[in-house]
Amino acid sequence: MNCKSCGKIALESMELCRNCFIDSVENKIKKEIRLAPKEGSMVIIIDGSAASKVLEKVASRIQSRKELKKVSTLQENTFVPATLDEINSEFFKKVFFRNNSGKNMQKLIFPLAKVTSEECELYCNLNGIDFEKKNKDEMQEMLWAMDKSYPGTHFSLKSSRDQLEKIRKG
């Protein structure tokens, strides 16, 4: 199968070639970073996961920030390497199980909100980046099963979350 963007040979079971896939992931992340507050240094959480490695690589390429500060704990206006499927999982835990960690998520920035954990892992593999594989929790496994049966589930859930957030804010 050929890449839907450039016509080159696509990656196995994908619609994009290697270069177009990498560009697609980076562009999604850069767009989210551009929407974030610009003051001060860019603070990102580094935990060794594929998501944090991808965020670190893309963030280090952005020249509009003065400094890239790497931390291991949450702070206000921190760039968190949480992927689309992880954010969806946390949302459902809050809705169904009233699981609220007490963290003020409004003050955190999620530049990987439109990128799945599988895309992060593939990005790392294609770029030769070593990472620690995270285990999926039960909610993530359920959501991946839904996405396999109904492709696009993760992105539909993101859209629904965004709409609910607008309603909540009034």
pLDDT tens, position by position, 127-161: 999 999 989 889 999 999 999 999 999 999 999 98
Global pTM reads: 0.87
List, for residues 97-117, the tens digit of each pLDDT value: 876 654 556 678 899 999 999
CATH architecture of residue range(s) 32-169: 3-Layer(aba) Sandwich (3.40)
Q: For residue 105, which phi and psi values (nearest 5 degrees)?
A: -70, -15
Q: C-alpha distances in angstroms, 86 versus 63, 82, 89?
A: 28, 6, 5
Burial degree of 121 (CB within 10 A; 0-12, 13-18, 19+) = buried
